[in-house]
C-alpha cells in the first residue's frame, strides 16, 4: 500500500494518541492523523478529513465510542472502525463487533494495533474492489437491458435456468403481460401468453434437435448454425386478435464461451402476409386473364384458317403430355401449353387463299407461309410472360440438324419447349386432315418422327412422345 494513510483518532488523552501514532509508524508509510474528542468534531472529521481508518477510545468525557460507531456506520459504513481501549472486557468487545466495529485492540497490547489496521485496510480494499466490479456489472446489465428495451421487435431473454431476465416493452404490448409480472419467472411461463400453457417454444429448442412438440406450433422451423427461425400463427396475442409471427431464437454465451441463456425475438408479420396473399391473388387473376387472352387469340387464328380448326388445341394436348412425360417443371409445362395453343398466331399475316389452298404451294406462297413463326414472335414479344413464349413460337419449325426455319438453329440452340412443340405439331398435322391432303393417320406420324429421331427431331422428345401415344393406344 503506497498511499498516504489518513487515520482519525477519537481519543481524549493526547499521550495515548501519541502512543498510537508511534505504533502506527511501523506500518512503513506516511501516516496523517487527526485527533478529536467531541461528537461534533468527530462528525466534521468524517466529512472533511476523509479517514481511511477510525481508531476510537471507548469512554470519553464528552462523547462515547459506541455512539461514534453508530454515526460512522450510518454515514460512512465502509471505513474500518477499530476500538482502542484500556477498559474493554470480552463481552463488550463482542458487542462492538456485533454493532459493526472492525476490530478491537487493548491499550495494554498495542503491538496488535498495526496488524489490526493492516487487516482492516486489506478488507476495505477488497470490499472496494468487489464493489467496483459489481457496479461495472450492473452498469453493463443496465446497458443490455436498455438495448433489449429499445428493440422494436418483441424480445425476451432467459438465463441458463430458463428464468426470464428481460421482457421488453414491445413484448408487453404484444402479450399484455407486464415486465413486472414476467421477470424472474421460470418453468415456461413465457409461453403462457402465446399458447395458454407452460410449454416449450422456439427458444427452448435451440439446444435440442427434437422437433416434436415444437414443430406443431409453427408453419416451419429453419436452423442456421444454432440460430433458429420459425413462422406461425398465434391466436391469443394482440388482445385476442391474433397475429402471424416471425420468430428468431439464439443462445447467449459469456466471454468464456459458456452457455448463459437465450434470446428470442418475435415480429408481427400479419400485415406483410396479408399483402403477400393479396399480391398472389392479383397475380393469379392476371395469369387467368392472360390465359383467357391466349384462348381468344387462338380463336382468331382458327377464324382465319378454319381448316386447321382445333389443331392448336390438339398440339397443346400432345405437347403438354410430352413435357410432363419428360419431367419438366409445372411452370415449363404450362409454358409449353400456352405457347402451343397460339403457336400459329403468325398465320393471320398469311393470305387466306394460301392457307386454304389445296395442293402444293409455289415458292412465293411457301416463303409467305414460312414467315408465320417470325410473325407470331413479333405479335407476342412485347407481352411479358414468365416464360419465353414468343421465342418458343418463333422456334417451332426449327429442326435439330439445322434444316428448319426461320433461323436454321441446331440441337440445344433450340429451346426444349420448341423441340417438344415441333414433334407435337408434326404428329398432329399428319394425323389430321389438311386442305391439300387427307389425313395420313397416327401410325404414319409415328413412323415419321421415329425415322427422323435424332436428325430432325430431338431423340428424347420423340421417345417421350412414343411412350405417351403408346399408353394412349392401350
Residues at the interface with Fe ion (CB under 5 A): 344
**How far apart are CB 290 and Fe ion at their closest, in Å?**
22
CB of 299 to Fe ion, least distance (A): 17
CB of 349 to Fe ion, least distance (A): 13
Q: 393, 342 in Cβ contact below 8 A? A: yes
Closest-by-Cβ residue to Fe ion is 344
User: Which CB atom, from 344 or from 398, has the smaller least distance to Fe ion?
Assistant: 344
Give me the long-range contacts of 373-377 (CB less than 8 A, separation at least 24). Answer: 373/346, 373/397, 373/405, 373/406, 374/346, 374/406, 375/345, 375/346, 375/347, 375/348, 375/349, 375/350, 376/342, 376/343, 376/344, 376/345, 376/346, 376/347, 377/346
264 vs 344 by CB, closer to Fe ion: 344
DSSP output for 55-119: EE-SB-SS-BHHHHHHHHHHH-TTS-EEEEESS--HHHHHHHHHTT--EEEEGGGGGGHHHHHHH
Backbone angles phi, psi at 43, to 5 degrees: -65, -45
Between 82 and 301, name the residue whose CB sits nearer to Fe ion. 301
Comparison of 305 and 344: residue with beta carbon closer to Fe ion: 344
Min CB(361)–Fe ion separation in Å? 14
Shorter beta-carbon distance to Fe ion: residue 191 or 301: 301
Least spacing, CB of residue 344 vs Fe ion, in Å: 5
- Looking at the Cβ atoms of 52 and 417, the one nearer to Fe ion is 417
Contacts of 13 (CB under 8 A, 6+ apart): 57
CA 311/CA 292 separation, integer angstroms: 18
CA–chain centroid gap for 121, Å, is 53
Q: How far is the CB of 289 from Fe ion (least distance, A)?
A: 26
**68: which 3 cell numbers?**
461514534
Amino acid at each position: 500500500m503506497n498511499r498516504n494513510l489518513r487515520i482519525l483518532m477519537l481519543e481524549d488523552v493526547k499521550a495515548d494518541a501519541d502512543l498510537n501514532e508511534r505504533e502506527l509508524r511501523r506500518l512503513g508509510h506516511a501516516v496523517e492523523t487527526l485527533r478529536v474528542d467531541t461528537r461534533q468534531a468527530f462528525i466534521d472529521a468524517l466529512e472533511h478529513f476523509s479517514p481511511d481508518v477510525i481508531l476510537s477510545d471507548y469512554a470519553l468525557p464528552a462523547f462515547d465510542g459506541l455512539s461514534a460507531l453508530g454515526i460512522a456506520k450510518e454515514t460512512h459504513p465502509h471505513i474500518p472502525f477499530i476500538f482502542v481501549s484500556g477498559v474493554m472486557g470480552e463481552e463488550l468487545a463482542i458487542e462492538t463487533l456485533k454493532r459493526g466495529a472492525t476490530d478491537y485492540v487493548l491499550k495494554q497490547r498495542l503491538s496488535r494495533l498495526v496488524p489490526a489496521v493492516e487487516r482492516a485496510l486489506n478488507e476495505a480494499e477488497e470490499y472496494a474492489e468487489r464493489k467496483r466490479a459489481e457496479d461495472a456489472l450492473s452498469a453493463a446489465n443496465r446497458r443490455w437491458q436498455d438495448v433489449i428495451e429499445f428493440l422494436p421487435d418483441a424480445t425476451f431473454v432467459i438465463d441458463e435456468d430458463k428464468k426470464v431476465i428481460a421482457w421488453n416493452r414491445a413484448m408487453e404490448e404484444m402479450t399484455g403481460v407486464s415486465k413486472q409480472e414476467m421477470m424472474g419467472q421460470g418453468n415456461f411461463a413465457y409461453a403462457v401468453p402465446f399458447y395458454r400453457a407452460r410449454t416449450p417454444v422456439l427458444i427452448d429448442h435451440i439446444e435440442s434437435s427434437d422437433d416434436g412438440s415444437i414443430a406443431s406450433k409453427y408453419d416451419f422451423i429453419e436452423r442456421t448454425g444454432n440460430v433458429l427461425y420459425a413462422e406461425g400463427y398465434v391466436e391469443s396475442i394482440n388482445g385476442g386478435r391474433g397475429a402471424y409471427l416471425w420468430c428468431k431464437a439464439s443462445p447467449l454465451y459469456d466471454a468464456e464461451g459458456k452457455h448463459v441463456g437465450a434470446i428470442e425475438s418475435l415480429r408481427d408479420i400479419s400485415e406483410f402476409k396479408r399483402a403477400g396473399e393479396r399480391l398472389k391473388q392479383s397475380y393469379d387473376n392476371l395469369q387467368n386473364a392472360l390465359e383467357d387472352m391466349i384462348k381468344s387469340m387462338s380463336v382468331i387464328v382458327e377464324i382465319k384458317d378454319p381448316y386447321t380448326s382445333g389443331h392448336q388445341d390438339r398440339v397443346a394436348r400432345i405437347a403438354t403430355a410430352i413435357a410432363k412425360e419428360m419431367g419438366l417443371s409445372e411452370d415449363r409445362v404450362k409454358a409449353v401449353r400456352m405457347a402451343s395453343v397460339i403457336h400459329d398466331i403468325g398465320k393471320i399475316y398469311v393470305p387466306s387463299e394460301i392457307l386454304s389452298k389445296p395442293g402444293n404451294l409455289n415458292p412465293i406462297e411457301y416463303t409467305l407461309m414460312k414467315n408465320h413463326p417470325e410473325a407470331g414472335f413479333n405479335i407476342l414479344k412485347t407481352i411479358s410472360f414468365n416464360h419465353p413464349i414468343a421465342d418458343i413460337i418463333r422456334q417451332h419449325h426449327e429442326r435439330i440438324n439445322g434444316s428448319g426455319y426461320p433461323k436454321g438453329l441446331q440441337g440445344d440452340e433450340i429451346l426444349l419447349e420448341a423441340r417438344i412443340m415441333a414433334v407435337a405439331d408434326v404428329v398432329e398435322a399428319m394425323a389430321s386432315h389438311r386442305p391439300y391432303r387427307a389425313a395420313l393417320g397416327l401410325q404414319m406420324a409415328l413412323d415419321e418422327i421415329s425415322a427422323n429421331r435424332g436428325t430432325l427431331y430431338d431423340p428424347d422428345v420423340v421417345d417421350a412422345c412414343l411412350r405417351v401415344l403408346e399408353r394412349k393406344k392401350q
